[in-house]
Structure 1
Amino acid sequence: MFDTMTITKAGGALCGALLVFLLGAWAAEELYHTGGHGKHSEQAYVIETGDDEVAEVEEEVPFEVVLASADPDRGERVFGKCRACHKLEDGANGTGPHLYGVVNRAVASEDFGYSGALSEVAEVWTPENLNGFLESPRNYAPGTSMGFAGLPDVEDRANLIAYLANIGS
């Protein structure tokens, strides 16, 4: 069937094919290499993309302006992220304290085991304090036991605060 000569021929064919492939790759690299080394390495042409222009800095709108145009109906949808731990019924605490009337309520005023970090940063849950806390609870009140990452979008925070303000009034 197979003898040593057949195996030798197959091995030689593989080595020959590899040699042809490597020589072809070397020749193609020499033919099509566009430079990058030496004194002749400057680019032959430049495509203008407009990246050299400084991007316009978007001015940050004050939170009060965003809050004034907030939509409580959209805030109700954002509250879905809070629903797992917080309840809206007065006095019905969940994993977190109830949020009924939380806007302009004293911090840690309810029957709930708050972490001391919250009372150190604010006395009243004003819309501005809620905005800072909801953006990043761990950055706003280091040491807080709230394990929520936060709401990065200022419009989501404003809509949620408008929704919570309507619930408690």
Structure 2
Amino acid sequence: MARNARRHEEPIKGCPMDTMTITKSLGAFCGALLVLLLGAWAGEAIYHVGTEAHGDEEHAQGYAIEVPDTGETEVAEVAEEVPFEEVYVNASAEEGEKLWRQCASCHKLEDGANATGPYLSNVVGRSKGIADGYAYSEVLATMEGDWTPENLSGFLLNPKEYAPGTKMAYRGMDDVDDRANLIAYLATQ
């Protein structure tokens, strides 16, 4: 009989852990999970603003800083945009040449060499919608006037707004100095 008793105490072959080890591991996992959940609940109760535990539902996170009233009303200074004509007078063709790299992916400077966009040789002062061999969108093909520096600036600022329906897929150039420099560079070509 002693032999049979020892047989039951030996672990089952092929099972690395006995039932007691599995029970202890499961208990440790559940205990750790309980500690984390209680910690999250306690943290929420302590730090959360706007619950009944804190009284008022209108609490804001942060501090209100009282500022003495001087009686003067401050008006935020709005930067007035300088007219394009004034900026264009001082434009730099050298700086514009650096900006040209953006345009060079769709336009060429050689006379008559169209690409995705029309060639831009002698564009400053040229009639709108006139570039030999280029198929303009209807809006630009029928647009009156010349590409003056002011007109080019308006187009470069927002092509889709200046000429609705244009084929030019460019979001625009916001900086008035950059537009003036680029146009000054194009005027030298």
Unpaired runs of at least 5, structure 1: none
Q: Does 1:7 align with 2:25?
A: no
Give, in whole Å, the separation in 2 of the partners of 1:122 and 1:136: 18
Give, in whole Å, the separation in 2 of the partners of 1:90 and 1:27: 75
Alignment-derived partner of residue 107 in structure 1: 128
The alignment's TM-score, normalised by the length of structure 1, stands at 0.81
Alignment-derived partner of residue 49 in structure 2: 35
Q: Is the 8 A contact 1:122 1:129 kept in 2?
A: no
Distance 1:24 1:95, change over 3 A: closer
After superposition, the C-alpha distances for 1:107-158 in whole angstroms (9 at most, x for unaligned) are: 1223122221114444211111111111222221111122233222221111
Alignment-derived partner of residue 164 in structure 2: 142
After superposition, the C-alpha distances for 1:15-34 in whole angstroms (9 at most, x for unaligned) are: 1121122223323433x326
Residue type of the partner of 2:36?
F
Q: Is the 8 A contact 2:109 2:120 kept in 1?
A: yes
Alignment-derived partner of residue 88 in structure 1: 109
Q: CA deviation at 1:86?
A: 1.8
Q: CA deviation at 1:96?
A: 2.2
SS at match of 1:148: coil
Q: Does 1:69 align with 2:90?
A: yes
Distance 1:129 1:36, change over 3 A: same
Give, in whole Å, the separation in 1 of the partners of 2:48 and 2:30: 30
Q: Does 1:46 align with 2:64?
A: yes
Q: Is the 8 A contact 1:85 1:94 kept in 2?
A: yes
Distance 1:113 1:48, change over 3 A: farther
Q: Does 1:20 align with 2:35?
A: yes
Q: CA deviation at 1:54?
A: 6.1
After superposition, the C-alpha distances for 1:35-80 in whole angstroms (9 at most, x for unaligned) are: 323327546843579xxx7643221111111111211110111111
Give, in whole Å, the separation in 1 of the partners of 2:36 and 2:75: 47
Q: From the CA coordinates, give the structure whose radius of gyration is larger.
A: 2
The alignment's TM-score, normalised by the length of structure 2, stands at 0.74
Distance 1:96 1:33, change over 3 A: closer
Q: Is the 8 A contact 2:129 2:143 kept in 1?
A: no
Percent of aligned pairs with the same residue? 56
Residue type of the partner of 1:36?
G
Give, in whole Å, the separation in 1 of the partners of 2:114 and 2:103: 13
